Amino acid sequence: MREAVIITGASSGIGVAVSERLCDMDYEVFGFGRNFELCKLKRENFHPIICDLLDTAKLTGQVKRIAAEWEIPVLINNAGVAYYGLHEELNAKKIAEMVRTNLEVPMILSAQLLRTLKKNKGHIIDIASVTAVNSNPHGCAYGATKAGLYSFGRSLFDEARKYGVKVTTICPDMTKTNLYRNADFKEAEEEEARLVPEDVADAVAFVLGARDGMVLSELTLKPQLHRIRKKPLAK
C-alpha cells in the first residue's frame, strides 16, 4: 500500500511550509483546511482536502477514506486558532473553537489512526506553542489549549512507545503567520526577533530524519531576540 501523510491546517502559514517540505521529501501529502483559494502550493503530490475540522463526522470520514487507500505513517496535528485579550472578554463560542481546534481535533485524529500507526511504527507530530509551558496573560485560554496538547503528546508517547510509535511535540515561539490576526500585537519586523513558517518545516524534516530508535519527543523553537509589535489602535 502507498504511503501518505495527513496534516491539518494545511492551507496557510506553517501548514503550507510543512506540506511543501514533505512534498520535497517525496511524501504524498493530504492537507486538510477550510479554504485553499489563497494557497499557493501546487504540487502533484499535494492533495488539498477542504474540510471544516469541527465537523467531526466529515473529518473522520475523510480520514477513513484516505486510510483505506493509503498507508499513513505520519500524522501532523498543525491546525490552530487563537483569540487574545482579557479572559472575561472571550465569549463561549471563541473558547469552544480554540479548545476543539487546538486540542480535541488532535486527540480525535490520533485515536482514529493510532492502530495503524502502531502497525507501521509511525509518527505523530503535534505543533503546539511555547505558550504551552509559559504563563500567558491576555492569552489564558489559548495557552491552556496548547498546554493540553503538550501534555497529551507527552503521555501518548509514554503509552505508545513500546509499540514503536513516535510522538513529537514542536513548540514554536512567535511565527510570521496570520495567527495573530485577532490580537492587538504581532510578530516583530526584525528577522532575528521572529520565526518564519519554514523554520517549523525544517524542524519537522529534522524530526522525521532521525534514526530509528531515537525520538525527538519535544522541540522548542525560538528566535534570537524576544520582541513583539503593538498594532495601531483602530480609529
Rounded to 10 degrees, the C-alpha dihedral 169/176/9/209 comes to -40
pLDDT computed for residue 177 by the predictor: 73
Residue 207, domain member (yes or no): yes
* Residue 215 predicted with pLDDT over 60: yes
For residues 68 and 50, what is the distance between their CA atoms, to the nearest angstrom?
19
Residue 77, domain member (yes or no): yes
Task: Note the pLDDT tens digit of each residue in 169-182.
Answer: 999 998 977 676 66
Residue 91, domain member (yes or no): yes
Task: Note the pLDDT tens digit of each residue in 91-139.
Answer: 999 999 999 999 999 999 999 999 999 999 999 999 999 999 999 998 9
Q: What is the DSSP string of 80-110?
A: -----S-GGG--HHHHHHHHIIIIIHHHHHH
How many domains are contained in the chain? 1
Taking the complete model, does pTM exceed 0.85, yes or no?
yes
Domain that holds residue 23: 3-230
* Residue 31 predicted with pLDDT over 90: yes
Residue 38, domain member (yes or no): yes
Residue 235, domain member (yes or no): no
For the domain that residue 183 is a member of, what is the CATH number? 3.40.50.720
Nearest alpha-carbon partner for 125 in 69, 206, 199, 48: 206
pLDDT band at 192 (very low <50, low <70, confident <90, very high): confident
Which cell is 116 given? Answer: 495503524
Residue 139, domain member (yes or no): yes
Residue 172, domain member (yes or no): yes
Q: How many CA atoms lie within 13 A of 133 on its CB side?
A: 14
For residues 30 and 99, what is the distance between their CA atoms, to the nearest angstrom?
23
